[in-house]
Amino acid sequence: MLKSNKIIVIGGGYAGLRTIEYLAKNRQNQITLFDKNSYHYMQTEVYDLIANEEDFAQVTQDLFTFCLGFDGNVVFCKQEVMNIDFDNKKVITDIQRYNYDYLVIAVGARTKFLSSIKGLKEYAHGIKSLHHAMYFKQKFEMSLFNKVREGGAQAKPLNIIVAGAGLSGVEISAQMASYSREFYDRNNFICRGLNIVLINSAKNILPGMDEKLVQKSKKRLNKLGVKVKNEKKVVELDGVNVSLSNGEVLPMDFMIFAGGIQPSPLVYKLDLEKNSYGYIETNEFLQVKKYEEVFAIGDCTTIYNDGKTLAPTADVAEQMAEYCAKNIENLILDKELQAYKIASRGMLIALGRNYASSKVLGLYFNGYIAYTVKKLIERLYALRLSRVAKKGCKKIFEC
């Protein structure tokens, strides 16, 4: 009988699932996926979740049925990994210890609530977890409704602060502005006051992104009435007001913090080489230093293109997964490993309902076409996962 390869994947995000899709094709690979949640959360669609374009079922995929949908060689364990004993090749979860031959660490990142900002953790919301995004979505809708209940043109405006003008901060600001505008327009409500202020510590929004996309996004935010405050930092919030680094004090009903990410808590516990921001360092084959059978991919690590750090995106995470899967196969077959060559394949920025700005394969598209392309990519991704999960579901109900 042929020996099976015990592979453990930690994290059912974009990187983890793509790795499984590749490795599961080889029936000798016995794969176990660990995730602390029972679902895969499609963070790239959170802007539509908040604006009620999608419900939570559309931005999640059940991990149990997904794993069951393969040919009997993938198993899902809803367990949080607490530590890893690299020398003895054991993953330690909140329940048990599991052996592996090969290990993939794909635990992603989470919102970095800076302790230097007073009141941030207490009064601001992150959107990196579905739980927080759902809470915020409901709060946003309820606030709009409360304005309608107050009624009249005199109703106090609703003040929403978004801190951080990277991709997620920009997309969410635009989507909320455009959604609320339609919300009031549709039924001709007159209690329209909604102030969305985007606080940005850098000189310009979307730092590091293509200049044309930055300019388009700026114009669009302006058109939607989002006020952008560049080169300002949030220094304190008390639930009623936000104080900025230039002494300005802004009223707030609620705040989203999209001002930074940090690796998932597990990464801090691991006895591995990390960079100065705490992300796992890998070699050109995506192996961690010291352990050739251990790979780290996705947002919990950092990779480079021409010496420059690549922005952590789902696109990059999936490309890393493909290299990682190939290299595990190469290790098993005692073949030469492949050095990664990864670059962003395109950028699509959602800027309100039915509008996006994009650069794909060097070409720029704006407006409805770009939005349609973005939605198509997201739908195809969800469909790909759902096809596998449907097979898994069928197995359960046929039993």
Ligand X SMILES: Cc1cc2nc3c(=O)[nH]c(=O)nc-3n(C[C@H](O)[C@H](O)[C@H](O)COP(=O)(O)OP(=O)(O)OC[C@H]3O[C@@H](n4cnc5c(N)ncnc54)[C@H](O)[C@@H]3O)c2cc1C
Binding residues for ligand X, rule: CB under 6 A, are 10-16, 34-37, 43-44, 46, 80-81, 106-108, 127-128, 167-168, 171, 264, 266, 298-299, 312-315, 317
CA–CA gap between residue 110 and residue 113 (Å, rounded)? 9
Nearest residue to 173 (alpha-carbon basis) of 143, 195, 148, 193: 195
Smallest separation, CB 150 to ligand X (Å): 30
* 255: its two tokens: 């705040």
Smallest separation, CB 249 to ligand X (Å): 27
Closer to ligand X by CB, 34 or 179: give it: 34
**8-state DSSP, 309:** E
For tokens 């060097």, name the residue: 362
For tokens 């409901």, name the residue: 138
* 105: its two tokens: 């660490």
Nearest residue to 214 (alpha-carbon basis) of 312, 358, 345, 314: 358
Q: Decide if 228 contacts 218 (C-beta within 8 A).
A: yes
Smallest separation, CB 329 to ligand X (Å): 20
Smallest separation, CB 127 to ligand X (Å): 5
Which residue type is seen at 320?
A: M
Nearest residue to ligand X by CB is 13
Smallest separation, CB 187 to ligand X (Å): 28
Q: What is the dihedral of CA 144, 150, 156, 159, to 10 degrees?
A: -20
Which residues are CB-neighbours of 392 under 8 A, at least 6 positions away? 64, 65, 66, 67, 68, 69, 70
Q: Give the DSSP letter string of 39-105.
A: EEE-GGGHHHHHTTSS-GGGGEEEHHHHHHTSSS-EEEEE--EEEEETTTTEEEESS-EEE-SEEEE
Smallest separation, CB 215 to ligand X (Å): 19
Helix (H) or strand (E) holding 124: strand 124-125
Phi, psi of 349 (to 5 degrees): -115, 120
Smallest separation, CB 11 to ligand X (Å): 3
Q: What is the dihedral of CA 301, 327, 316, 81, to 10 degrees?
A: -40
Smallest separation, CB 111 to ligand X (Å): 8
Smallest separation, CB 342 to ligand X (Å): 12
Q: At what angle do helices 314-332 and 14-23 cross, to 10 degrees?
A: 30
